[in-house]
Each structure stands twice: as C-alpha cells, then as structure tokens.
Structure 1
Amino acid sequence: MSNISTMASPLSEHEHEHAMVQGPPLEKRAVPPPPTDATFKNTVLARVNAYRALHSAPAVTWDNALAQAAKTAATSTVPNFTLWLKKGLDWWYGEVRDYYSWAADHSGQYHFTQLVWKATTKIGCSWSANQCATAHGDYYLVCEFQPKGNIAGQFGGNVLDA
C-alpha cells in the first residue's frame, strides 16, 4: 500500500457549466501562457497552505519527487475538460461546504480532506495542457500528497474545524 495520495480533477459537466458562467464562453477565452515552474510551485504552496492554516494544519513543503510523479500522471491523463490552477484548488477546497453534513466516510469530500489533512507534510503538483487547451486555455491539475490522507477512522484528528 502506497503512502502517497494522488488527486487529479477534471470537472464534472455540472461544475464545468457553472465555471463557464463565471467567464466568457470557451471559444472566446484567450489561451493564457503556462506558468513558470517557480510561479506554479509558489502559487500552489501559498494557496494550499492558506487553506491548511484555516484548519490548524501545519504548512506542507514542496517535494520535487512528488511533483515529478504528479507530472507523469498529469501528462498521461487526457480529460475532456480541465482546471485552472487557482480554480482547481478552490474547487477542491469548496467541498468543505458538505463536509459536516455528509456521510461519516466523507467520500464526497476527499479533495478537501486531503488538502487540509494535518499529518500530510509534503506536496508535489504538476499540470498539463491537453487537446482542449489550444481552444479553451485550460490545464489539468494533479497533486501528490505524502503521507497520504483520507484514512478511515482518522478524520477527526486530521481534519480540524476552521
């Protein structure tokens, strides 16, 4: 059993449609330039650690080996539609709205719970553009976490109230 948790999130059709309401139609969006490695890393760490701080979880550090594993996963995946970096992390964290009202196994909030999992200390993320990127300007986000979270029976001690 691996000690690494992988999160990759293409949007569901419902979320994709909702995202389009917030911006111009896909065919009218300009393709943004890809972020530099340093910008990508700093943006991910800042955003993830801000969310973790809301739940009294210590900051994670960047791990290049995890980032390479995420890159391998990101480039081998061809989703139908993809995430913007900040929006992707925001959507993952957005699962918090259902965390306290859903089933005890929290299966509908695994992105959120992994983001704020207290015992996780390292993160590595990557992105890739797919065939949609040229027309839509979107990217696919993958993050690897270590040690992995979402362990049955350990949610109470690792997902703290905001």
Structure 2
Amino acid sequence: GNQVKCRRRMSNIKSLCVIVLLGLLVQDVITGVSKDECLNEHNKYRAKHGAPPLEWDNKLAKAAQKVAQNSKFEHSNNGFGENIAMSSDEMTCAKAIKMWYDEVKDYGKNNGGVTGHFTQVVWKSSTKVGCSVGKPGGISFSNGMKGQMLACNYSPPGNYQGEYEKNVQA
C-alpha cells in the first residue's frame, strides 16, 4: 500500500519537474535567447561600473520580440530603453552585449551620443531587462545580405540628459 502511494507521488513529482523544465525551455523558444546568458552578460558589465544586477522581465522580452522580428533595423519607440544589434551570422546576447559595451572606449569624448548602447547597458537606474532574437536571415542589410537581429528592452529606461553622472560610472 505505502509503496504504491510513494511510487505515485514520485511519478507526480517527476511529471511536475518535466512540465516545469518544458516551461523554461518554451520561454527560450519564444524569445530565441538564453535568459541566463542575457542576464549574466549584462550583469558582468554592469558590475564593472557599480550598477546593480538586472532582473529578467517577460513583458520586456515580449516587446523586444516584436522589434527583433521586424524586418527593419529600427528602434520601436515603445517607451522602454532599447538596444538593437544585427549580424550576418548567428546573433547571441553575448555577442550583442559585447558590441554595445565596446562603445565604452568612446564614452565621455563629446562625440554626439555614439555611446547610447553602452550607457543603457550600465545605466544604474534600470532594474529589468528582456531580450529576444529574430529569425536567422530575417533582416536584410543594405548590400542585400541577410542577417539576424537581437533586441533588449530596459525598464526604467536610461539615457536621460542630465542624469548620466549619477547613472554611468565610467
């Protein structure tokens, strides 16, 4: 009697574990990115600048999905902070975030705002992020080549005039 109950209970626990794991995988399939990779890469760079870690937000990821699946390389003006990147080969969070972060070398040189991706990545007041990647070949370059786009949205948004000094520790 007790062995049968125990087996049923273990079977139910295994089923629940499988369902939970599938749920986690589905989220990655929907946005096309690894949440862990996106968070780890963002937070690695943020730590270098004294910014607290970001948390994942599914609402931001869904908004990023609309941008990443657009066939045009353009910002959405969706009210969130937004970084976008594209590549002729596979686009990952690690690759995109490194490209954005590499603008750090130009930060503070009065160069007309070409560091907005970097500053959004390390913006202290931003607390949440959600990212998504488009289909491979889903976007066309001006030379006719096809590529893949990745978008990340941030909340609260960064890059406000007059707030750089308190939000970006160079």
Once the two structures are superposed, the pairs formed by residues 23-62 of structure 1 within 5 Å of their partners are 37=28, 40-62=34-56
User: Which of 79, 86, 105 is 1:97 aligned to?
Assistant: 105
User: SS in structure 2 opposite 1:82?
Assistant: strand
Once the two structures are superposed, the pairs formed by residues 151-162 of structure 1 within 5 Å of their partners are 151-161=160-170
User: SS in structure 2 opposite 1:125?
Assistant: strand
User: Which of 94, 117, 132 is 1:111 aligned to?
Assistant: 117
After superposition, the CA RMSD in angstroms is: 2.4
Deviation at 1:129, TM superposition (A): 1.8
User: SS in structure 1 opposite 2:69?
Assistant: helix
Matched, 1:123 2:141: no
Change in 2 beyond 3 A, CA 1:74/1:132: closer
Gaps of 5+ in 1: 1-35
The 2-side partners of 1:37 and 1:132 are apart by 18
The 1-side partners of 2:99 and 2:39 are apart by 16
- Kindly provide the amino acid, as one letter, of the partner of residue 82 in structure 1: M
- The aligned residue for residue 146 of structure 1 is 155
User: SS in structure 2 opposite 1:76?
Assistant: coil
Aligned length: 121
Matched, 1:87 2:65: no
**Maintained 8 Å contact 1:102/1:108:** no
Q: TM-score, normalised by structure 1?
A: 0.67
Deviation at 1:102, TM superposition (A): 2.6
Which structure has the higher relative contact order (CA within 8 Å, separation 6+)?
A: 1
Q: Identical aligned pairs, as a percentage?
A: 37
Gaps of 5+ in 2: 1-26, 74-84, 140-144
